Chain A
Amino acid sequence: MKRGPIPKTIASKKESRLRSGLFPKVALIVYLLLLMLPIYWLINLSLRPNEDIMSHMALWPHHPTLEKYFFILNDPTWVHAFGVSLTYVMINTIISVTVALPAAYAFNRYSFIGDKHLFFWLLTNLMAPASVYAMPFFNLYYAVGLFDTVWAVALAHCLFNVPLAVWILEGFIGGVPREIDEAAAIDGYSFPHFFVRIFLPLIANGIGVTAFFCFMFSWVEQLLATTLTATNALPFAAVMTRSYSASGMDWTLLAAAGVLTMIPGAVVIWFVRNHIAKGFALGRV
C-alpha cells in the first residue's frame, strides 16, 4: 500500500507533541522530586542533633551542625572501613569484568556442548538468597584462610557479579557484527591480539556499563560483606551496624554515614552517564 506524502505541518505538530510536549517534562520533574525526598530527608537528619530528630518533625534543619561528619572523617575506624569497602568493590569489579569478557564472547559467538544450560546455570547463582548462604560462606572462607580479608568479600561477590557481567556483556557483544571477527582472522590476527586490540575497543561502552553494575551491586551488598569480616577488613556498613548498639541509636551519625556512602556511587554513575546516554539495546538493533 502506498501512502501519499503527509502535509508537513501535521507531521511537525505530531513531532513536537511526541518529543517536546509539556506533559513529559512535568511528569519527569514530579518523579525526580519524589525520588529525591527520602534522600533529602537523610541529609536533613544528618544535620540535626539526635534530641531534635526524635522530638519533632522539621522540614529543614533549624540549627544545622556538621559535627558528625567531622567525627566520621576524623575517626580512623570509619576512614579505614571506607577504604576497605572501596578496595573490595574495585577488586571485585576488575575480576568480574575480566573473567566475564571471554566467556560472554564464547556464549555469543559459538555454540558448544551444554552452552544453553551453562548460561542458565550461571544465572541461577543470582537467585541464591544471601541470607541462606551466609553461614556456609563463613565456613568456606574461614577454611581457606581468607576470612577477614578484602579478598574474601571480593571473591564472594563474584558469585552474583560474574554471572551478571556475562549476561550484560553477551548482549553488547551481540551488537558487534560477526564480519569484524572474520575480517580480523583473514588479516592474520591471533585470537588474543584481535580480542584485546580490536574487539575490546568496540565494546568499550558495554564494559563501562557492566563495570557500573558490578560496582553498584558489590557496594550495596552487606550481608556477605559483614559475615566474612571481623576487624581487619571491616566494611563501612558493618561499622554502621555497630554504632546501633553502642549507646542507643545515634541517628545523626547513621544519617551522616549514609550520606557519605552515596558519594562513590554518584561519582561512578557520573563517569558512565555517557555510556548509558549513548544507548544499548543488547543485541542486534
Chain B
Amino acid sequence: MIEKPINNRAWLLVLPVLIFVLFSALLPMMTVVNYSVQDSMGANNFFWNGDAWFRAVLDPTTDIGARFADALIRNLAFSFTALLIQVPLGIAVALCLPRKGWAVGPCLVIIALPMLIPWNVVGTIWQIFARADIGLFGAAINWLGIPFNDTQDPISAWCTIVIIDVWHWTPLVILLSYAGLRAIPDAFYQAARIDAASRWAVFINIELPKLQKVLVIAVLLRFMQTFMIYTEPFVVTGGGPGSATTFLSIDLVKIALGQVDLGNAAAMSLIYNLITITLCYIFYTIMTQLDRRRDA
C-alpha cells in the first residue's frame, strides 16, 4: 500500500465539515455535561454536585443504577439479536437479487421502501398490523397456534420489536451488500470457475472479503441505530408491557422528561454515549485492522 503524503493543509478541506458539525454538536453536548455535574433547587438555581450522579447511575444497588443496568442488558441483547438476523439475511438476499435485467430497478425500489417510511409511520403501521384482532400479523401468528399479544405478553412484545427492526432495516444491509457484490469484476468469478471452486468457496474467498468495506458501514450503522432505538418501541409498545421493551433511549426520556430528573438523566446519557462510542470503536478497529492486514 502506498503511503499517503503528509500535508497539514488538508485541514483546510476538512474545516467546513468541522464548522457544521461542531455548531450542532458542541453546545448541546456541553449542556448535558453541565446538567450531569450539577443539582438544582428549582428556579434555575444550580450548584455543583460533582460525580454523585455518575456514581448513582453506575452503582446497580441504587434504584437508578439498577434501572440503567437492566435497560443496558436489554438493549445489548436486542442489538445483537437484530444484527445477527439482519447481516446474514441481508447478504443472502443480496446474493439472490438478479445481477442485470429489467427486474433490478423494481426490486431495488421495493426493497428500499421500508427505510424511506418516517419512523412514527412505521410504528403506526405495526401498531395495527401486529394486533391479534384486527391486524394481519398478529392474527396470522395466532392462527399458527402460537399465542401472541404484543401489548400483554413481554416475549411477544420483544419479538415484535425485533421483527419490526428486521423488516425496517435489513434493506440497508441488502442495498450495501448488493452494491458491493456488483463491484466485483467478472475476472474473479472466471478464475474461480477455472479452479472449479464450490459456491461456498467463492462466497468465503471472493465475495465476503470484497464486501468488507460496505459491511463495516452496514454493521456500524445498524449497531448505532439499534442501540439508540426509540421511535418504534415508543409508538408500538410504549416500552411495555412492564419494562420488557424499555430500551436505553426510552428509559432516558422517561427519566429526563417524565420525572424531570435532569442530573441522573444527563449522567446516564453521557455514560450511555460513552458505551456506544467504545463498542463502535472496538468494531471499527477490528474491521479496519482486518482490512489492513489483507492489504499488507
Contact = CB atoms under 8 A, between A and B. Distances in A.
Chain A bound to chain B = yes
Interface of A: 3, 5-6, 10-11, 14-15, 17-19, 24-25, 27-28, 31-32, 34-39, 41-42, 45, 53-57, 59, 95, 99-100, 102-103, 105-107, 109-113, 115, 118, 120, 122-133, 135-137, 139-140, 155-156, 158-159, 162-164, 166-168, 171, 178, 209, 216, 219-223, 236-237, 240-241, 251, 254-255, 257-258, 261-262, 264-266, 268-270, 273-274, 276-283, 285
B7 A112 contact: yes
Given A28-B107, A123-B220, A280 B118 contact: no
Given A28-B96, A158-B24, A280-B180, A240 B121 contact: yes
Contacts of B55: none
B110 interface: yes
B78 interface: no
A31 B5 contact: no
Given A106-B13, A158-B21, A131 B108 contact: no
B210 interface: yes
Contacts of A171: 213-214, 217
Contacts of B137: 37-38
Nearest to A128: B273
Nearest to B281: A120
A118 B14 contact: yes
Nearest to B189: A18
Among all A-B residue pairs, the 9 with the closest Cβ atoms: A265-B116, A279-B182, A136-B28, A279-B183, A24-B96, A106-B13, A281-B183, A136-B31, A110-B10
A17 B199 contact: yes
Contacts of A57: 133-136, 139
Contact of B14 (A106, A220, A261): A106
Secondary structure dominating the interface of B: helix
30 contacts: A3-B195, A27-B93, A35-B167, A35-B171, A37-B137, A39-B114, A41-B129, A45-B128, A57-B134, A106-B14, A112-B6, A112-B9, A118-B14, A120-B284, A125-B25, A129-B249, A132-B256, A133-B32, A135-B31, A220-B118, A237-B121, A241-B120, A251-B128, A261-B117, A262-B113, A276-B175, A277-B100, A277-B108, A281-B210, A281-B213
B224 interface: yes
A38 B167 contact: yes
B125 interface: yes
A113 B265 CA distance: 36
Contacts of A131: 228, 230, 249-250, 252-253
Interface residues of B, number: 105
A133 B32 CA distance: 8
A283 B107 contact: no
B16 interface: yes
Nearest to A235: B118
Contacts of A136: 27-29, 31-32
Contacts of A106: 10-11, 13-14
B280 A127 contact: yes
B224 to A, nearest CB: 5
Interface string B10-42: 110110111011011101110110000000000
A77 B95 CA distance: 45
A166 to B, nearest CB: 6
A280 B183 contact: yes
B287 to A, nearest CB: 12
B141 interface: no
Interface in B166-206: 167, 171, 175, 178-185, 193-196, 199, 202
B276 A159 contact: no
A41 B133 contact: no
A122 B18 CA distance: 8
B259 interface: no
Given A57-B134, A132-B252, A258-B121, A285 B10 contact: no
B2 interface: yes
B231 interface: yes
Contacts of A137: 24, 28
A188 to B, nearest CB: 19
The residue among A6, A41, A268 with the most chain B CB atoms within 10 A of its own CB is A41
Contacts of B277: 124, 127
